[in-house]
Amino acid sequence: MTHPDTWLRPLKAGLFCEPGGFYIDPMRVVERAVITHAHADHARPGHQAVLASAPTIALMQARMGKAGVSHQALGWGERIRLGEVTVWLQPAGHVLGSAQVVMDYRGQRVVVSGDYKRQADRSCEPFEPVACDVFVTEATFGLPIFRMPDPAAEIGKLLASVRLFPERAHVVGCYSLGKTQRVITLLRDAGWQAPIHLHGALVGMCAVYERFGIALGALLPVSGDMAGAIVLAPPTGTDAKWSRRLADPVACLASGWMLSAKRARQSGAELPLAISDHADWDDLLGTIAETGAPEVWVTHGSEAALIHELGRRGIKGRALRLIGYGETA
Amino acid sequence: MIALAGLLERLRYCPTAAHRQRVLAECGDATVRGVLAGTIKARKVGLPMLRALAAARVDPVLFAASQDFLGDFVETLALIWPARAGNAAAPALAEVLAEMAAAPAAEVPHLVAGWLDASDAATRLALLRLITGKLRPMTATAVSAGGSAGKITAMLMYAQSVRVGLERDYSFGVLDAAGSLVPVARVMVAERDALEAWVRAHTVAKFGPVREVAPGLLVRLAFAGVMVSPRHKAGLALREASCEAVLEAGEVGKLADLSALLD
């Protein structure tokens, strides 16, 4: 048995698995990278060899032209030997293709979960817990004030506003990868059958989702003043130039941070929607319990509070202090 | 309470009085409207009582870390209150007003704790604002925003990483009487590309998470008001400031000076 802190280490370039010779979600260009998901803060361009799930490879290609100088797609649960380490991917439920990286080495198992969530989301593969010795977690919402409401209720607020202000355009700010497709599927599930209008920056990621079988319904470009319509756009706030031609737009923002009144006010949104693609406090703790891991490493977020709570539960916590993650909450 | 909570959430962010009127008009509940107008008041409770409730239910380290993040005790208590399985429905506003008025002082903490248990976070916040007397100032702020609101041209001075999450705050300044730049607003910005490009190319000094940038990038700031702030070198700060636009070379306006804010 070799304790993982001797073979999986936080270096400047990112988390490095020494006997496997690869980094996970490195912040700098490296020889070999295993990528958990295609968000820009985890999937950076320029790596030599990239290993990731097939959707992640496709999303990276759509975002950056290519996933790496060379790339290899790994199926869910498919084992691969990298150096002396057996590696496989398990869905993380964060965005399409998002994976937990499972590493087995000398009788010890580490799971690096990347970003993840536990709420139901039919736009991506659901999180599947893996029993392990060390669970590496994010803590984006690692404070007990963060308990995400039912996303269907949040979407209900949007639809109520569309009914109340039918002469105005509703513009929902959401990140192009993940949040956009989640909002679309939530709208469809709530019965919104009308076309949903997309800012050009969101079109490419939606096309990849559809290619992987996630039906999004009718999607159209923005045209005219969009009164009565729902428009999705990058989270630029109320003020981007292109929105000036819209009919008295209601600026909405879909983000877990909207749980904080201060953040909601600062965002300038008229209708904040607390829809998150990260685990909230209860789901972080529930997931950690499910893995059975006696030791938890925290990559980024509110690590101090989470580690404090883990200590109360007899679980050893460690802050990795990886810099550079957390750009898409 | 649920109707009040939903209405409060919506009113808080309405951009204009006309929009608020539309939202209010949808609410047919006279008690809710009376409470919002300040004509109906609830019996007030003190913060020490609420602090005692918090201490009985929540780990003090976690509470402190959470309040540190949110910056507001009542909001922290509303969000952090641990759910407790039970059959009770969230209380009606009329019930809260009547029972609070009738209860002996010693009973009030139990009453409030029971209501918090039966409510979701938004309803807990509305309840706590109601019984701490903060409801009227909260909606008054929303209602009066506009009097001293305005827009100015300001210059980027600093970018600072925030402790949680990725976002960066940006500090913007205007000219003081001596012609020096002084910060008047610290703002979170959603569309950051132009700002980040400036920060990358023009950082002149770093102090921990704070980067000082060379002057030159002008933005249009919108704000809800101006408040006296002894902590700021300017002696004032913009309330609820947001970055409306990064001004391009062709549309550069005149950098504001402090006197423009003192009008």
> Contact at 8 Å (CB) between B70 and B79?
yes
Partner-chain contact A326 B166, CB within 8 Å: yes
| pLDDT of B10 strictly over 90 | no
Cβ contacts of B135 within 8 Å, gap of 6 or more? B8, B35, B36, B126, B129
**B30 to each of B18, B37, B40, B145, how far by Cα in Å?**
20, 10, 10, 24
Chain B residue at shortest CA distance from A270: B13
Q: What is the mean pLDDT of residues B98-113?
A: 95
Q: What digits encode the pLDDT tens for the residues A142-182?
A: 999 999 999 999 999 999 999 999 999 999 999 999 999 99
Q: Can you tell me the distance from the alpha carbon of B218 to that of B251, in angstroms, rounded to the nearest whole number?
A: 10
Partner-chain contact A261 B75, CB within 8 Å: yes
Contacts of A165 in chain B (CB under 8 A): 19, 22
Residue that is written with structure tokens 């009565």 in the block = A228
A131 and A166 inside one domain? no
What average pLDDT is seen over chain A? 94
Assign residue A44 the CATH number of its domain: 3.60.15.10
A93 and A136 inside one domain? yes
Residue A166 lies in a domain: yes
Structure pTM? 0.79
Residue A327 lies in a domain: no
CA–CA min distance A249, chain B (Å): 11
Assign residue A232 the CATH number of its domain: 3.40.50.12650
Owning domain of residue A24? 4-145+278-319
Q: How many domains does chain A have?
A: 2
A106 and A29 inside one domain? yes
Q: What digits encode the pLDDT tens for the residues A177-199?
A: 999 999 999 999 999 999 999 99
Residue A8 lies in a domain: yes
The tokens for B70 are 């949110």
The tokens for B145 are 């925003």
Residue A177 lies in a domain: yes
Question: In terms of C-beta density within 10 A (0-12 exposed, 13-18 middle, 19 or more buried), how is residue A221 classed?
Answer: exposed
Partner-chain contact B165 A329, CB within 8 Å: yes
Q: How many CB atoms lie within 10 A of CB A152?
A: 12
Partner-chain contact A236 B240, CB within 8 Å: no
Partner-chain contact B188 A266, CB within 8 Å: yes
Q: Which of A144, A239, A312 is closest, CB to CB, to B80? A: A144
Residue A324 lies in a domain: no
Residue that is written with structure tokens 């990528």 in the block = A35
pLDDT of residue A282: 96
Residue A24 lies in a domain: yes
The tokens for B136 are 């009227």
End-to-end Cα, chain A, rounded Å: 37
DSSP code for A149: P
Partner-chain contact B70 A262, CB within 8 Å: yes
Contacts of A328 in chain B (CB under 8 A): 166
A134 and A163 inside one domain? no
Q: Identify the bridge partners of residue A70 per DSSP, sorted by sequence position.
A: A49
The tokens for A160 are 């109520």
A231 and A299 inside one domain? no
pLDDT of residue B252: 54
A40 and A133 inside one domain? yes
End-to-end Cα, chain B, rounded Å: 40
Q: What's the farthest any 2 CA atoms get from each other in chain B?
A: 67
CA–CA min distance A122, chain B (Å): 25
DSSP code for B257: B
A65 and A47 inside one domain? yes
ipTM score assigned to the predicted complex: 0.92
A–B CB contacts, 8 A cutoff, strictly below? 111
